[in-house]
Structure 1
């Protein structure tokens, strides 16, 4: 957590993955992520763990999804970096 504070991020992205918040021992974000006062974007699993960690409830679905998606870049930004127009 000290490393995260020392980095002084302007925002944090919690990415997706094949894990389930319903599995014992599944990864969680360090609590400091939610204490920094910066925007936090949760994508798929990242959103699920953020919801659970902040007191929400995530209910299991009947369909499990995990895979890659194609993204079209419509506006250039520092966050996008050197990504191609279509990744």
Structure 2
């Protein structure tokens, strides 16, 4: 991936986080919506912080285990999105 692609992906990720934060603020009184938005925001922030690369490094380490169960789920979702 080129440097321009990296910058573009980071900008898209930051925009997605900001969009989800705005949606969460707007829906703060609807608990059924906020739970889903919080999940989406958690995933978007994880991607923005470089979670996939960190997890790949953890998996490449000697033990080859995921950081934890929640991160394993986020990583599985990220892999699925990369395939499709």
The TM-score bracket by the shorter chain reads under 0.3
TM-score (norm 1): 0.26
